[in-house]
Each structure stands twice: as C-alpha cells, then as structure tokens.
Amino acid sequence: MEVIVLLKQVPSTESFVGISENGLSVKTDDVKWVINPYDEFAVEEALRVKEAHGGSGSVTILSVGTEKAVEAIRTALAMGADKGILISDSAAYNCDGLQTAKILAAAIKSLPFDLIIAGQRAVDGDNYMVGSAVAELLKIPAITMVMKESIADRKITCSRTVEGGMVVIEAPLPALITTQRGLNEPRYASLPGIMKAKKKPLEIKSLKDIGLDSAGTGAPKTKIISLKYPPERKGGRMITGETAADKARALVKALHEEAKIV
Amino acid sequence: MSCGVLAIAEQVNGVFRKVTYEALSEGRVIADGLGCSLSVAVLGSGIKNNSESLGKYGAERILVADDAALEEYMTDTYTNVIAGIVTREKPCVIILGASSRGRDLAARLSARLDAPLAMDCVAVRLDAGNVVVTRPMYGGKILAEIMLEGEPRIIAIRPNSMKIAESQKTGVVEIIVVDKGSTDLKFIEKKLDTGKVELTEADVVVSGGRGMGGPDYSAIEKLAGIFGGAVGASRSAVDEGWRPHSDQVGQTGKVVSPNLYIACGISGAIQHLAGMSSSKVIVAINKDPEAPIFAKADYGIVGDLFEIAPLITEEIKKVKGL
Ligand SMILES: Cc1cc2nc3c(=O)[nH]c(=O)nc-3n(C[C@H](O)[C@H](O)[C@H](O)COP(=O)(O)OP(=O)(O)OC[C@H]3O[C@@H](n4cnc5c(N)ncnc54)[C@H](O)[C@@H]3O)c2cc1C
Ligand SMILES: Nc1ncnc2c1ncn2[C@@H]1O[C@H](COP(=O)(O)O)[C@@H](O)[C@H]1O
C-alpha cells in the first residue's frame, strides 16, 4: 500500500499570533512550530494502513512550505513514515489554498499512490479545502472528516462525521480522505525512531523540479486586504450573592434584563 | 462582470438547515448590492413541495433538481450537478453554509471551477463591486478581510453568524434537468440522531468540562433543554470518554456562535476559547475564582456547578413562566 500524507507545519495552537506592521501578514518569529494537529492524525492513520497491509509499501510525507518545514517532516519520519518530500520555493510562500493544491497535485503526479491522507483543515488559515481540491485536481474520489476507515478489495469504507451523526461511504482506491479527531491517537516519536529518521530520505524540491512554473499555479484568487484582532472580550461582571440561590437569581435577572436573552 | 447570485440549499429529509436561510438572506443582500437576481439550487429527492418555501427568503428562482440519485449528499454527484448549473447560469457569486457537507462541496467546487473560495465567512461586504469577506483564521485569533478575485466567488458562511431576513418576494420553482455525471462514491448507510439539537446551529449552548467529574451530564442537559439548546464539551471531557467527539467545542472541535454560551467546569484554555469566543453572551460557572474563563465571560459565578446549574434552571423556569 502506497500512502501519501499531506502535511503542513503550522504555529502551535497555544502560540500567540501577532499581526505585522503592514497589517497584511502575521508575525511568526516567536511562534512554536508543530505538525498541524489534523495532519498528525493523517500520519498515524497512514502508518496503521501500512501496518494493516503487512508493512509492505511506504508512507510518503509531502509538504509545501519554507525550509523550516523540514523539522515537521522529520518528526513524521520519526513517527515511522518512510520518506519525505518538501516543495520549498520562494514563489510558493504566499500561496492560497487553491494554488497549494495545484502544487501538491503536480508533485503527486510523479508518485505512486493508493491512498492520500490530508487533514480536514490546517489550523493556521482554517481553509478546509486543500484535501478536497487535490482530489479534484487528480480526479480521484475524496471522503472528508473521516472518523474510521477500513480497506478491503481495493475499496476504502469510511465513517464520515456530519451534523447529528455519521454517514458511511465507500470509494474505490486510489482515493483521498481527510481526518477528524477521534480517528486515532497519534503515536509519539520514539528515541530510536528519531535516530532512524535522520537517515531516511528527505528531498527538497523547487516548483521547477515538479514541472511547474508560476503559470501552473495561477494567480492567487484570494487576497488578504486586512488583518485585525477580533474585538477583545473583556471579563464582565462576577455575580455575587450570599447563597448559591441568590447568585442564580441574580444571573437570570441579568440575562433577562440586561442581556435580554432569557 | 456576469451577474446573479446562486445560493445552495442544504436539506436533510426534506427539512432545510437553518444555515440555508442565512445563506439566502445574505445572498439577497449581495444580489441587491450588485443589482442582480438571487436563485437557489435545491438538490434532493422528493423535495419539490418543500422548496417553494425558500421564496420567502428572497430567492426569485428556485432551481429544483429532484432525482432519486440525489437523495443522499454525495460529493461527486452534487459537484457534478452544481457545476452544471453554474455553467448554465453563470453566477458571479455562490453562497452556501459552511456545514460539514457545505465545506466538502465548496472545496471540491472551487477546484472544479478554478474559482476563489472563502470558507467560514462571518461577514460579507461589497466594495465598488468587489466582494470582500471577513473570516476568522488561526482559530479565531485573527480576523481577515479577504477579497475574492475571479468568478464565481464561492462564499461558505459560518452557521449562526448572519441574520435571517424574510422578504416580500415570492420565488418561482423551476424543475431542472441535471447531468449527474459519473460517480465513484457509494452510500452505505447513515446513523443520524435527528432529535439532537446541532451544536453549530443552537441559539444556546451549555458545555461541561472536566469539572463535570464524570459522564453524568444531566444537570447541564436540563439547563440546555429549557432553552431548546445543545450540550457541548471541552476536549478533556471528550478525552475522558464522557461525551462523543462530535460534542467537542474548540480549535480542534466545533466552532459555535450561539446567543448564549454557558461554560460549566471549564477552565478556559486558549483552544477552548477558539471554539466559543464569538458567542454573543458568555456565562462561566467555575469553583475556582482564578479560572481564566472568567476573563472572557460576560457573567461569572464562582461556585459548584452541580449546585448552581439546577438553581439557574429553576430560575429560568420562573422567568419563562414554565
Ligand atoms: C493541539 C491542541 C488542541 C486542543 N483542542 C481543544 C479543543 O478543541 N477544545 C478544548 O476544549 N480543548 C482543547 N485542547 C485542550 C486544552 O488545552 C485544555 O486542556 C482543555 O480545554 C481543558 O479542559 P477543561 O477546561 O474541561 O479542563 P480543566 O482545565 O481541567 O478545567 C476544569 C475546570 O473545572 C473546574 N471545576 C472542577 N469541579 C468543578 C465543579 N464541581 N463546579 C465548578 N467548576 C468545577 C476547575 O476549577 C477547573 O477550572 C487542545 C489542546 C491542544 C494541545
Ligand atoms: N502547504 C501544505 N503542504 C502540505 N499539505 C498541506 C498544505 N496546506 C494544506 N495541506 C493539507 O491540506 C489540509 C487542509 O488544509 P487547509 O485547506 O489549508 O485548511 C491540511 O491538513 C494538509 O493535510
């Protein structure tokens, strides 16, 4: 089983993300970089798929990013993935989702694969689109927000989360799936894993190396015109009272009279 | 610029999701701003009669694709059908709800049509004929204004963020013949709890965290129930196995924007705040006066949730005359 994982390096969820002076980009100097949490599930699931198929085939990590993203790929290799490919090109640094998908799809065209696993979203831009877009560009089926999958007879059967429950869908391989929390618990990279990862193949490629020029990715179709912090929530009023019943009464009074919600 | 706004309705068993009305109402505002018409596409099986009602949210034309093969949402058939409608109608804007289904469709459509997409929009404005959307990024730590360039501009709106407005207009239903194209996906089954109020659409959400101490959520279920609201959870509560993953609110769970969010026994970690800080009013109940959640709550009560929550439920009953 040949599995490709689409992996993005993002600021950790607890990082403060500041806005640059120009108001158009974010400051990332003080940020702690991690594997996008949903892509960690993707790495774990890829390893499990490979294991479930007798360990044959390979798990390839594919990422578009700056050279810093090598760290995230190495972590995935330490978890057990076999090889990594980073597309790093200054022409690709400010890509929007659709452009990123075009780059990933172009890179995948020269790779063998049965299954591609992506995150449902990257927690930086929260775009929720690259996985589905890659599948469309490769003309393969995609099942998004998968909580459970199993593969038999060249078919993948997935439980996909939807509002109020679950839908079970089947797709022929090759296919792409995106992850949902609950799919698995990602393993930690072990010390021997980290040592081994240093020797695993990790290629860094330019857009030209994957046969793309700027015409191939097109112009960005989404343009940031301003970034702002959301209005800050100020801590409001502490409801006090002699007894718990007094507090409950005061709260409901406030919700009724001030907030006009009850 | 070609013109026309196309909304995409979302229905489950003939019942439209609330976000459909939000998309239509916002679509109406955009269409008026651009001086063009609003159509809505409804896909499903046996849905013609229900579709008429969409006219009152401002759609002049209600394009109904009624086909047994459209009974269940399948990414490929739905994308094929919508892409066919787009080719014929040439809308300049497509608007739909950023539900799990809406996001899936919007992303695939964006690649199929090579069209700009903004997911999870919380506001839309027109700027000299350009469409500018506001959408949260980095788990809501930043709000971005984005200009969409190229057509059709696909706008997926976050549920519960935009107003529903009824209009004087009445829509005309047109049954359309669709090309379903070829399909790969096969529907096997669905397991839906239709009685459950959907977290992302609820007006009131009451969430319980590690402070619940176990899987018995009855105290806050009663509180939520009195509002017809939904029950959510922190990730810790989900990790403990007390609540299903689908109840998790936060950066790696659902983002909710109800009118009222009541956090019970939740400390207020940044990842949790990412999922609920756009709620209109936040109430926190926590026994630790230093809990960070109080810094973000409009109203805070220091106390034991098992004592306070039932008392609040009783008080609300009184106010509501129940
Ligand atoms: C990558 C990543 C993603 C994450 N995503 C999410 C996410 O999506 N959603 C999320 O919620 N978390 C998420 N987290 C976890 C988050 O960091 C916190 O660990 C979690 O939110 C804490 O949950 P809690 O507030 O329920 O528990 P705690 O922090 O343990 O707080 C429990 C609170 O309950 C109070 N309490 C206890 N008993 C009572 C009582 N009887 N009455 C009243 N109060 C009581 C305590 O004073 C305490 O403040 C994520 C973390 C990471 C690293
Ligand atoms: N630059 C990238 N490199 C590799 N994979 C990516 C990249 N951007 C997005 N992805 C994949 O697409 C998923 C969804 O991302 P997004 O659409 O940006 O929210 C991520 O979880 C990754 O699996």
| Per-residue pLDDT at B315 exceeds 50 | yes
Query: Are B300 and A123 inside 8 Å of each other by CB?
Result: no
- Cβ(A176)–Cβ(A140) below 8 Å: yes
Residue A262: its pLDDT value, please? 85
| Per-residue pLDDT at B1 exceeds 50 | no
Residue B3: its pLDDT value, please? 85
ipTM surpasses cut 0.85: yes
DSSP state of A13: T
Percentage of residues in chain A with pLDDT exceeding 70? 100
- Residue-range domains of chain B with CATH: 5-175 (3.40.50.620), 199-320 (3.40.50.1220)
What average pLDDT does this structure show over A101-111? 97
What average pLDDT does this structure show over A89-109? 95
Residue of higher predicted confidence among A46 and A30:
A46
Six token digits for residue B304: 């034991």
Six token digits for residue A228: 């702002």
CATH 3.40.50.620 at A2-217, yes or no: yes
| Per-residue pLDDT at B212 exceeds 50 | yes
| Per-residue pLDDT at A232 exceeds 60 | yes
**A residues 154..213 contacting B (CB < 8 A):** 157, 160-172, 175, 180-182
CA-to-CA distance for B224 and B235, rounded, in angstroms? 19
- Cβ(A78)–Cβ(A110) below 8 Å: no
Percentage of residues in chain B with pLDDT exceeding 70? 99
C-alpha pair distances (Å), B46 with each of A92, B66, B75, B85, B101: 47, 6, 19, 19, 20
Q: What pTM does this model have? A: 0.96
Query: SS3 of B210, please?
Result: helix
What average pLDDT does this structure show over B108-113? 98
Residue B168: its pLDDT value, please? 82
Work out the pLDDT band at B2, boundaries 50, 70, 90: low
What average pLDDT does this structure show over A161-179? 96
What average pLDDT does this structure show over A166-186? 97
| Per-residue pLDDT at A174 exceeds 60 | yes
CA distance A200 to chain B (A): 31
Contacts 24+ apart (CB under 8 A), A148-152: A148/A183, A149/A45, A149/A49, A149/A177, A149/A183, A151/A1, A151/A49, A151/A52, A151/A53, A151/A115
CA-to-CA distance for B22 and B28, rounded, in angstroms? 10
Span between the terminal Cα atoms of chain A, in Å: 56
CA-to-CA distance for B113 and A217, rounded, in angstroms? 14
What average pLDDT does this structure show over B56-67? 96
- How many Cα neighbours within 13 Å face the side chain of B295? 9
B303: phi > 0 → left, psi -120 to 50 → alpha, else beta; which?
left
Work out the pLDDT band at A30, boundaries 50, 70, 90: confident
Residue of higher predicted confidence among A219 and B108:
B108
On average, the pLDDT of chain B sits at: 95
Q: pLDDT by residue (tens digit) across A54-66?
A: 999 999 999 999 9
Pocket (CB within 6 angstroms of ligand 1): A 13, 37; B 209-211, 234-237, 248, 250-253, 265-267, 269, 271-272, 275, 285-288, 291, 304-306
What average pLDDT does this structure show over B148-155? 96
CA neighbor of A69 nearest in space, from A134, A5, A7, A131: A7
Six token digits for residue B36: 């063009």
| Per-residue pLDDT at B285 exceeds 90 | yes
CA–CA–CA angle A241, A243, A249 (5° rounding): 65
Ligand lying closest to the C-alpha of residue B263: 1
Query: SS3 of B307, please?
Result: helix
CA-to-CA distance for B20 and B210, rounded, in angstroms? 35
φ/ψ of residue B246, rounded to 5: -70, -10
**A residues 54..83 contacting B (CB < 8 A):** none
| Per-residue pLDDT at B29 exceeds 70 | yes
Ligand 2 center from residue B23 Cα (angstroms): 26
Residue A123: its pLDDT value, please? 96
What average pLDDT does this structure show over B289-311? 97
Question: Which of A256-260, B104-108, B109-113 has the least mean pLDDT?
Answer: A256-260
What average pLDDT does this structure show over B11-21? 93
Beta partners for residue B65, in sequence order:
B43
In chain A, CATH 3.40.50.620 covers 2-217
| Per-residue pLDDT at B146 exceeds 50 | yes
